[in-house]
A and B are shown apart, each in its own frame.
Chain A
Amino acid sequence: MAPEAQGPLTETVFYVLLALHRPLHGYGVMQYVNDITGGRTSIGPGTLYGALTTLAEKGWITPVEGAAGDRKKEYVITAAGRNALEIELGRLEELLRNGNRIARKGQQ
């Protein structure tokens, strides 16, 4: 898919999309993000709820039909979500490339 213009994702959205590469419920997302950032980033439940709602409305994530007994709602990333993440990764690579080239010029 060709990268299209898209504003930067927030850190919350970025990590929620990463976490949802496998189906998770809210608590799972919070734990996952806490783990892979080594505890640097914790998403508050209020913030997470807003992000999940917005992402689902946008079609970047979708609720998963869980087992009948499971009352917790799980979500998983969609193709549109993967696309948005891909665009963001391209943008982040550019930031890093330019940052390294200019700010760390003498150090390499």
Chain B
Amino acid sequence: MSTQTVYRLYWDFEKEERWLNEMAAKGLNLSSFFMGVYRFEQGQPGEWIYRIELLPEMPQLPAGREYRKFMEDTGVQTVAVNGRWVYFRRPAADGPFDLFSDLDSRITHYERVRWLTGSVTLALVPVTVLGAINTVANWPGISATTPLLLVPSAILAGLASLTWRFTQRVRSLKAQRQLFE
């Protein structure tokens, strides 16, 4: 079976999921993933539907294993596990595949993702502040460490906007929940 390796970094799991499904539509089926390294196996176009979920705990722990076993029993395969993220897939022949079918569980999942991106954003605040102080202190010169400190600042900005995006999602789903379930 021919395989293909792609190196990519995604901030947004929904964009990542969309990309994986675009690949699957072309017959490139994700077979493993670890830290930005995606491996695809050549198969039939449109054979699989992929979904990504952030579990409340590590997928290797008993609760996570039980959940993945439940998924397996409903015909859902675990393709890869990365931190608390799990990459699932189900044959497209089994019909449309969504992990969540009501507003409450979708809200819970978005809130979990937002909590993760939000905590990492906050954790990067001190080092970003140090970076800013360092830059100002050396102004107009540039210290050797300045470029290094720009990296966490950029990550912080990215994660902050992502957190904001998920906050908006949660807000709009909650507004919908005023009328529907």
Q: Are the CB atoms of A45 and B102 closer together than 8 Å?
A: no
Q: Which of B108-133 contact A (CB under 8 A)?
A: 108-109
* Contacting pair A47 B73 (CB below 8 A): no
Q: Which residues of A contact B (CB under 8 A)?
A: 10-12, 25-27, 30, 41-50, 72-73
A26 engages B105 (CB within 8 Å): no
Contact A44 B73 (CB under 8 A): no
Q: A42 to B96, Cβ gap below 8 A?
A: yes
CB-defined contacts of A12 to chain B, threshold 8 Å? 101-102
B100 at the interface (CB under 8 A from A): yes
Among B71, B73, B95, chain A packs the most CB atoms within 10 A around the CB of: B73
Q: Chain B: residues with CB nearer than 8 A to chain A? A: 53, 67, 70-71, 73-76, 95-96, 98-102, 104-105, 108-109, 181
Q: What separation, in Å, do the CA atoms of A73 and B67 have in the docked complex?
A: 12
The answer to whether A47 and B101 touch (CB under 8 A), given A10-B181, A11-B181, A42-B96, is yes
Majority DSSP secondary structure for residues of A touching B: helix
- C-alpha spacing A47/B98, complex, angstroms: 9
Contact among B98, B108, B181 with A44 in the assembled complex (CB-CB below 8 Å) = B98
Beyond A46-B53, A46-B109, A48-B101, 16 additional pairs, beta carbon < 8 A: A10-B181, A12-B101, A12-B102, A26-B70, A27-B73, A27-B75, A42-B96, A42-B101, A44-B99, A45-B71, A45-B99, A46-B99, A47-B105, A48-B74, A50-B105, A73-B73
Q: How far is the CA of A25 from the CA of B96 in the complex (A)?
A: 20
- A46 → chain B, closest Cβ, in Å? 4
In the bound complex, residues from chain B placing their C-beta under 8 Å from that of A50 are: 105, 108
B18 to chain A, nearest CB (A): 18
Residues of A close to B105: CB separation below 8 A = 44, 46-47, 50
B99→A47 contact, CB < 8 A: yes
Asked if B104 and A10 sit within 8 Å, CB to CB, the answer is yes
B101 touches A43 (CB 8 A): yes
Could you say which residues of chain B place their CB within 8 Å of the CB of A73? Answer: 70, 73
Query: Nearest chain A CB to B79's CB is how many angstroms away?
Result: 15
A44 pairs with B70, CB closer than 8 A: no
